[in-house]
Amino acid sequence: MSYTHLLKTITRLGSPKILLAGDFMLDSYIYGDALRISPEAPVQVLSVVRREYSGGGASSVAADLLTLGARCACIGVLGSDLNGERLLGLLNQMGADTSGILRLDSRPTISKERIIGLAQHRHRQQLLRVDEECTDSLTDEEYQRLLEYYQRHLADCDAVCLQDYNKGLLATAFCQTLIKTARIAGKPVLVDPPLGQDYSKFTGATLMTPNRKETSVAVGFAVETMDDAARAATVLRERLAMEAAVITLDKEGVYFCTADGGEHLPTIPRTVYDVTGAGDMMLAMTAAAMAAGADLRTALQLANIAGGIEVEKFGVATVSVDEIVNEILTRHRSKTGKIQELDTLLVELDYHRQQNETLVFTNGCFDVLHRGHLEYLKFCKQHGNVVVVGLNSDRSVRQLKGPSRPINNQHDRAALLAALECVDYVVVFDEPDPMALVTAICPDVLVKGADWAEKGVVGREFIEARGGRVVLAPMVEGKSSTLTIEKLNASGTSEKTETHPS
């Protein structure tokens, strides 16, 4: 997959709407100093320092989707209790649509309370976890209320996500109704299943994303090798009549299988701090990308990247589009550096524009780099965030300067420019003037040397007509490639005369 395709997909994700049905949970953390033993029993005494609350389960997927720029309508149940108020407040604060969440007196909000001991306010150590939940199915009336909401909003959504933690909501009949209704409406259904042997309730979904352990339990054999993953993915896809089965393989990336075959998408080695929430991120990124029109392979490539970023963070964390873009750019830059082909350059510049960064363009031969060039390029950097240098190719330099030029070939000249901190991109062009580059790049600022004031700056009319600026840079007196070459030639002639007098 070309990096430009990934970059285009993630930067043009837009704001697709996802219907998310699942088990919404509240994660609470009680931090305190544990410095003494209770006189009542052989247990530690926790002196509370602070309390923190965050969304878990399907709430984590909602946070991931919203951080990626998607819209998220939640379908689920919470208790009519304080934890329900807290979780509903968190979801609303994120920007989720919570009108599809029922508040019920008959069950508590699913919550996981973690007691974290500190030593001198540092060195976190989990001492205890207290879970509160009800895993019973809902009543027929409660399911009907959720289905009515689902059916009203299905036409307006781009994809459906089911996040199941075996907490009672996604019972077989309800789950099958959600899937069949969505598939009839032409909406993809993505499932993150729980640990269990029977996945039949997910039959007919578009795809599911079990991890290695969940897959092993579901298919009845250990998934240890890539051959195991291929076999397991085929079993799941065929058994459940899905378009694809996607198995997440932690540090080995993902393996996915469709009717056209299977493929392993590796990930890059990372420093893993916490794998909590990686599966949620995989589901969210895959759903958002597919909802925006991406093919499955592209969506999984992006999910692989997003999941890799997530595990480098502590706890359940979200990943932004900017973080994914930066990761893609960093990977590409490690291979190509600042020197770009025009088509890839335009994709990257499109991202910089979305960040409201000012693009500066200049061009030249930059044959024998000297102080005048450095001052000129630093001047360019003072007028914007991103400096793009259009570099004349060897052929165009010969057309402009004569057959004895350039002294340095285009690869060497580009490498020298790319080594400068004030230059962000270098693109080589073959034409005698940069007009085609100027119209393709559409910079905010076009910089040329002051010596071009009377000659006329190529592209001035185009830039100014679009609201851009043309800026003339001051010249450093006595500094030019031509003068430098003449001095070198004169020096060489002088040495020959002294060595071989006539």
Tens digit of pLDDT at every position of the chain (502 positions): 577 889 889 988 999 999 999 999 999 999 999 888 999 999 999 999 999 999 999 999 999 999 999 999 999 999 999 999 999 999 999 999 999 999 999 999 999 999 999 876 667 888 999 999 999 999 999 999 999 999 999 999 999 999 999 999 999 999 999 999 999 999 999 999 999 989 999 999 999 999 999 999 999 999 999 999 999 999 999 999 999 999 999 888 899 999 999 999 998 765 554 456 678 999 999 999 999 999 999 999 999 999 888 877 766 788 999 999 988 888 777 667 899 999 889 988 988 898 899 999 999 999 988 889 999 999 999 999 999 999 999 999 999 889 988 999 999 999 999 999 999 999 999 998 999 999 999 999 999 998 877 678 999 999 999 999 999 999 887 656 566 666 666 665 555 544 444 3
The Cα 14–Cα 9 span in angstroms is 9
The Cα 386–Cα 336 span in angstroms is 17
pLDDT number for residue 357: 94
- CB atoms under 10 Å from CB of 220, counted, come to 9
Classify 490 as helix, strand or coil. Answer: helix
Contact 389, 448 (CB under 8 A): no
Entry pTM: 0.78
- CB atoms under 10 Å from CB of 488, counted, come to 12
Contact 190, 283 (CB under 8 A): yes
**Active-site residue identified among 27, 280, 367, 394:** 280
Cis omega (within 30 of 0) on the bond before 406? yes
- Known catalytic membership, residue 280: yes
- The H-assigned helical ranges of 49-139 are 58-67, 82-94
pLDDT number for residue 337: 80
Q: At what angle do helices 3-11 and 296-310 cross, to 10 degrees?
A: 80
- The H-assigned helical ranges of 337-456 are 342-354, 371-381, 394-401, 410-418, 435-441
Tokens 């027929």 sit on residue:
140
The Cα 401–Cα 397 span in angstroms is 6
Domains of the chain: 3-334 (3.40.1190.20), 338-488 (3.40.50.620)
Exposure class string for 404-433: b at 16+ Cβ within 10 A, else e? ebbbbebeebbebbbebebbbbbbbbeeee
